Amino acid sequence: MKFKPQQKVASLPAWRRRLLLLCVLLGFVALVVQSLYLQSANRDFLQKKGGDRYIRTLELQADRGKIKDRNGEILAGSSPVASVWMNPSVVKVNEKNKQSLSALLKIKTAELDKKIGNKQKEFIYIKRRVSPDLAEKVKALKIKGVYFEREYKRFYPAGDVASHIVGFTGADGNGQEGLELVRNDELAGKAGQRRVIKDRSGQIVEELEIVREPSDGHELVLSIDRRIQYLVYRELSRAVEQYKAKAASALVLDAKTGEVLAMVNLPTYNPNNPTNIRGKTRNRTLTDVFEPGSTMKPVTAAAALAFGGYESTTKIDTAPGYMTVGGATIHDTHSNDVLTVSEVVKKSSNVGSAKIALSLDKQKLWNVFNQLGFGQKTNIGFPGEVRGKVRDYKTWRPIEQATMSYGHGISVTLLQLARAYTVFANDGELKPVSLVKLDSVPKGKPVFSASVANSVKEMLEMVVQEGGTGTNAQVAGYRIGGKTGTAHKLGDRGYEKDKYVGSFVGLAPISKPRLIMAVMVDEPTTGQYYGGTVAAPVFSRVMSEVLRLLAVPQDAPNANIVVPTLDGDGQEVV
């Protein structure tokens, strides 16, 4: 056996070993110095830069305040939901799960592919505000890079019945229409903040601190009674269908407080799914004006009693059923010869009303219109409210003074008209109106004396009795008062020949008014358009249920209904 001789291992010179050791030591010292420098001089800067990569400040959503009716029924509330989002850079999904995700969230596969392919973003919503049950089904797919965020979704139990009052919120949770819009700051509250640590995929790995607690929104209690709201909606819908009307509005006021118990507009929309709503979101009782027609005659009569030296029994010659003023002719539906002031209102005589108005000082008549709130906003606190129009008395010609007395040449909102009738229910005192529940009866503004108001109230009761124009408004077991109105619609070229607005405003019960209801039917197209035909029955059907719902004591026998001998505003039944 042979052995190889061992080779001699070369060794470094001593100076080279020392040089190498010195370089290592210098490198180590440099690292220590750099470390000390970074942890002292640039500490805050570097910590901020590091934190920017993994520390996030997230919003803590406040719970939006509920909207309730006067009895505590929810009209708008929020429920917790989940929003599904992704980080496209870390998403890993097979074709089967992609199809399942697309089907569950009801989004197109092409749209999903587009979101997954957007690698420049770390946060993209796939679908916002899905139900908790649906979120659990998506979670069960276990798709990497798909996450969930807690949010709130607004829901509206009354649906389209109260949509014009409540409105709705948008995708960001802010109010878009109605009280959701005008009371947004009050309802929304203030969001809070929290600091968290997120990993590179966007997942929260640690909660650091609550920077600011969220402040929940305030609850809003409305004057609306959801039960009455539904009854008005049901009967108004019935009238629109029966008379094939373009639109309609109705509202009910508490006669003593001015609180709005119901406010309905048609057409309407569903705030839970506000799609295809163009032209349907207007609260027409506040945003649309119309000529009130003969519903203004009680106001003219009140002005005559208060400032013209008239009494309810003062006689006016209305024969032969028409009169000429400044080249224009005013007509009655029927010739009535001599009528008292009360009968002018009862039979809805345009000639009689015009003669009364022309005998009054025009400034005093204008003052009455002004004091009743015509041409002014009611300040009910609702978006889009308009003023209506009453021309300055200084510009009135005789024909204008005459026609305004029976509701032509003046434009009002339905809310203004209903509010004006509070003077007849409150001994001449005009009440403010409110959409929020009140704790006490508000102080009103005196316009007429109690004797004038009560005299007109008696005239309103005559309107719904035999021979009057509002017999269709009668309610079994209750004395009712009110006034019908019919007016041609005003178009771009003057009055439209075959387009009408039929209206009715009534008090119930007339002996001690508890409720005021105003109804307006826009463009009925079946050939029947008088207010006594299309609007008064809505009042009757609603009040028949509401008076009993509120347990208002009867002030008449159940057999008090008289068979109408007239149709509408004076049309004889044939």
Cα–Cα distance, 384 to 379 (Å, whole number)? 11
User: How is residue 424 written in tokens?
Assistant: 């007849």
Cα–Cα distance, 211 to 494 (Å, whole number)? 64
Cα–Cα distance, 74 to 64 (Å, whole number)? 13
Q: What is the largest CA-CA distance in the chain?
A: 156
- Between the alpha carbon of residue 299 and those of residues 296, 342, 502, the distances in Å are 5, 12, 18
Q: How many CB atoms are located within 10 Å of the residue 572 CB? A: 9
Q: How would you list the strands of the sheet with 204-212, edge to edge?
A: 55-60, 192-198, 204-212
User: How is residue 362 written in tokens?
Assistant: 């025009």
Are residues 484 and 274 in contact, defined by beta-carbon separation less than 8 angstroms? no
511 is annotated as an active-site residue: no
Residue 248 identity: A
DSSP-assigned states of every residue in 526-551: SS---HHHHTHHHHHHHHHHHHHHTT
Q: Which residues contact 349 (CB under 8 A, 6 or more apart)?
A: 316, 318, 332, 336, 339, 343
- Between the alpha carbon of residue 208 and those of residues 188, 200, 411, the distances in Å are 26, 17, 62
Q: How many CA atoms lie within 13 A of 512 on its CB side?
A: 6
Q: Which residues contact 273 (CB under 8 A, 6 or more apart)?
A: none
Of the candidates 154, 156, 159, the residue with the CA atom closest to the CA atom of residue 230: 159
DSSP lists the bridge partners of residue 516 as 253, 507
DSSP-assigned states of every residue in 306-347: HHS---TT-EEE-TTSEEEETTEEEE-SS---EEEHHHHHHT
- Between the alpha carbon of residue 218 and those of residues 162, 221, 313, 379, the distances in Å are 20, 10, 55, 22
DSSP lists the bridge partners of residue 192 as 60
Are residues 522 and 246 in contact, defined by beta-carbon separation less than 8 angstroms? yes
Q: Which is the catalytic residue, given 78, 294, 349, 455?
A: 294
Cα–Cα distance, 501 to 293 (Å, whole number)? 9
Q: Which residues contact 280 (CB under 8 A, 6 or more apart)?
A: 267, 268, 269
Cα–Cα distance, 343 to 345 (Å, whole number)? 5
Q: How many CB atoms are located within 10 Å of the residue 458 CB? A: 14
Are residues 436 and 293 in contact, defined by beta-carbon separation less than 8 angstroms? no
The residues that are catalytic are: 294
